[in-house]
Chain A
Amino acid sequence: MVNEIIIAGFGGQGVLSMGKILAYSGLMEGKEVSWFPSYGPEQRGGTSNVTVILSDNVISSPIVSEYDIAIILNQPSLEKFESQVKPGGILLYDPDGIHRPPTRKDISIYKVDAMAKATEMQNQKAFNMIVLGGLLKVKPIVDLEHVMMGLKKTLPVRHHGLLPMNEKAIITGMEIVEEIK
């Protein structure tokens, strides 16, 4: 079983850290994982993306031509990556910042109102965990217990008090994600 995932959005949206948590979660489940970021000035604004691969077998290339799952958090990323989702794959997006929604018919498309929800929760930092929750609902590639273990591994110890908030955000994401038909 292999999942090749691209997560793309603006720098500062937590794209890279969401990928990192996903990768660590896979690691906690004993999977082979790779995490390859777009790096450089993009980290400080601009668009940013990360390729995460979770696999039961050794991963050949950390860079792939098409993806099983695309998590899209802004318009430029949608334009770049919609065509690179494998037929039958999944595209999950946050409608905030997307003014021309995806149009493909041969893939499953979901939306998660994470930005709106995070604002409502008055917790912008929960944003990427809400998105992650949405993904885990539509495709449970790792279970929640391992996600929490992965989160614990990536968060510095001084931030471990934030773990319950993050778990809540993931569960919220699972609740609000919806399929676009």
Chain B
Amino acid sequence: MKGNEAVAHAAIRLGVDGYFGYPITPQSEILETLMAEAPWKTTGMVVLQAESETASINMVYGGAGCGKAVMTSSSSPGLSLMQEGLSYLAAGSLPCLVINVMRGGPGLGTIQPSQSDYFQTVKGGGHGDYKMVTLAPASVQEMSDFVGLGFELAFKHSTPVMILTDGVIGQMMEKVKLPEFRRRRTEEEIRKQCPWATLGKTPDRKPNIITTLELDAHAMERININLQEKYRKIEESEIRYQEIDCDDMDYLIVAFGSAARISQKAAELAKAEGIKVGIIRPITLWPYPSDIINQYASKVKGILTVEFNAGQMVEDVRLAVNGKVPVEHFGRLGGIIPTPFEVVSALKQKLIK
């Protein structure tokens, strides 16, 4: 099953209430699979092809405001259009799941895989001080698993969650074990779980209002402080990463998603040449696993980040390492996928010399 298809099947099985999306390569299989599966006939899940990504993300806002489990997906240019909506969702503390199957930019760019929306995603592509929990799957299995994990984190912290992936993971087929079927929550259950949801005012409570507007600057500062407190809590509890062969290494590669898969192969090739390479694969890109990278920094001769971009995550690695060891970046741009060979030669050129 393709990564994109796995997302669609997982969403239906997990009892997601609604998906709103607009076609764009390389992620259209998500919408196509959902339409073919027609879950509105089985689980009652709403699937709608919107008129634009702008509309999709605002539909997600409407659904999330009702406490429903709602999601959308797109690829890089579509995500640029969604940034306004993401800022509103974050400001409104609304839980939802957004998937970006990245392709090469800038501009209309290419439809080939890329990781060049890292900054946009983890540094906040929309306006204002906000953060988005960001999960980076590296396999079709994780594409499926992170739908469940994404919603779990979204509702736990009442905040939008992003699955940041790329055309490699979206388009490739691998074995996958889909989640068990789970029914959708009833309105009563949603009212209990999300007492803030706009589902119609009952006599026992005040009107629920989902808004991101506050003209009084002092009140707006308070809202911001609350958001930042929530983000610190997420940073304390939700960091996820994978360590591969880190117990005996001379060099460390830090890579996420499909770049981590390619780096793993590169590490195998390097090992055959007698070079000991370990890998840290950040699974959450925000919150970022800075501490573990910092700890390993003192044990290696150098660190290489491998990214399908001009050097974005490398900045977070450098911040984590804080000058302890050289940190270099290797990447291919505009939709070109680096090969494992290229990674090994970059490692030699930039760090081993």
For A20, the chain B residues whose CB sits under 8 A away are: 173
A64 at the interface (CB under 8 A from B): yes
User: Do the beta carbons of A60 and B172 come within 8 Å of each other?
Assistant: no
Q: State which size class the interface on B falls in.
A: 20 to 34
Given A39-B111, A40-B111, A40-B112, CB of A63 within 8 Å of CB of B171: no
Instruction: Specify the chain A residue showing the minimal Cβ separation from B26.
Output: A39
Chain A CB within 10 Å — which of B25, B111, B175, B341 has the most?
A: B175
User: Do the beta carbons of B340 and A40 come within 8 Å of each other?
Assistant: no
Alpha-carbon distance between A8 and B292 when the two chains are bound, in angstroms = 42
Alpha-carbon distance between A59 and B175 when the two chains are bound, in angstroms = 11
Q: Residues 134-170 of chain A: 1 if any B CB is under 8 Å from the residue's CB, otherwise 0?
A: 0000000000000000000000000000000000000
User: Do the beta carbons of A63 and B337 come within 8 Å of each other?
Assistant: yes
Q: Residues 36-66 of chain A: 1 if any B CB is under 8 Å from the residue's CB, otherwise 0?
A: 1101100000000000000000011111111
Interface residues of A in 23-44 (CB under 8 A from B): 23, 27, 32-37, 39-40
Interface residues of B in 158-177 (CB under 8 A from A): 167-168, 171-175
Shortest CB–CB separation between residue B269 and chain A, in angstroms? Answer: 8
Of B149-157, B203-211, B256-264, which stretch is located at the interface?
B256-264
Given A61-B264, A63-B258, A63-B261, CB of A36 within 8 Å of CB of B340: no
Alpha-carbon distance between A37 and B171 when the two chains are bound, in angstroms = 7
B339 at the interface (CB under 8 A from A): yes
Shortest CB–CB separation between residue A139 and chain B, in angstroms? Answer: 21
For A59, the chain B residues whose CB sits under 8 A away are: 174
Q: Is the interface of B mostly helix, strand, loop or mixed?
A: helix
Shortest CB–CB separation between residue A8 and chain B, in angstroms? Answer: 16
Given A64-B339, A65-B342, CB of A34 within 8 Å of CB of B264: no
For B111, the chain A residues whose CB sits under 8 A away are: 39-40
Alpha-carbon distance between A121 and B172 when the two chains are bound, in angstroms = 33
Alpha-carbon distance between A65 and B267 when the two chains are bound, in angstroms = 13
Shortest CB–CB separation between residue A160 and chain B, in angstroms? Answer: 19
User: Do the beta carbons of B339 and A62 come within 8 Å of each other?
Assistant: no
B268 at the interface (CB under 8 A from A): yes
User: Do the beta carbons of A60 and B339 come within 8 Å of each other?
Assistant: no
Alpha-carbon distance between A181 and B235 when the two chains are bound, in angstroms = 63
**In the complex, how many residues of chain A place their beta carbon closer than 8 angstroms to a beta carbon of chain B?**
19
Q: Residues 55-94 of chain B: 1 if any A CB is under 8 Å from the residue's CB, otherwise 0?
A: 0000000000000000000000000000000000000000
Given A39-B111, A39-B167, A40-B112, CB of A62 within 8 Å of CB of B25: no
User: Do the beta carbons of A60 and B264 come within 8 Å of each other?
Assistant: yes
Q: Residues 319-353 of chain B: 1 if any A CB is under 8 Å from the residue's CB, otherwise 0?
A: 00000000000000000010111100000000000
Which B residues form the contact surface with A (CB < 8 A)? 25-26, 111-112, 167-168, 171-175, 258, 261-268, 337, 339-342
Which A residues form the contact surface with B (CB < 8 A)? 20, 23, 27, 32-37, 39-40, 59-66
> Which A-B residue pairs are the 10 nearest by beta carbons?
A61-B265, A60-B264, A65-B341, A35-B173, A65-B339, A36-B172, A61-B261, A60-B265, A61-B262, A40-B111
Q: List 24 A-B contacts (CB under 8 A).
A: A20-B173, A34-B172, A35-B173, A35-B174, A36-B168, A36-B171, A39-B25, A39-B26, A39-B167, A40-B25, A40-B26, A60-B261, A61-B262, A61-B263, A61-B264, A61-B266, A61-B340, A62-B172, A62-B174, A63-B262, A63-B337, A63-B339, A63-B340, A65-B340
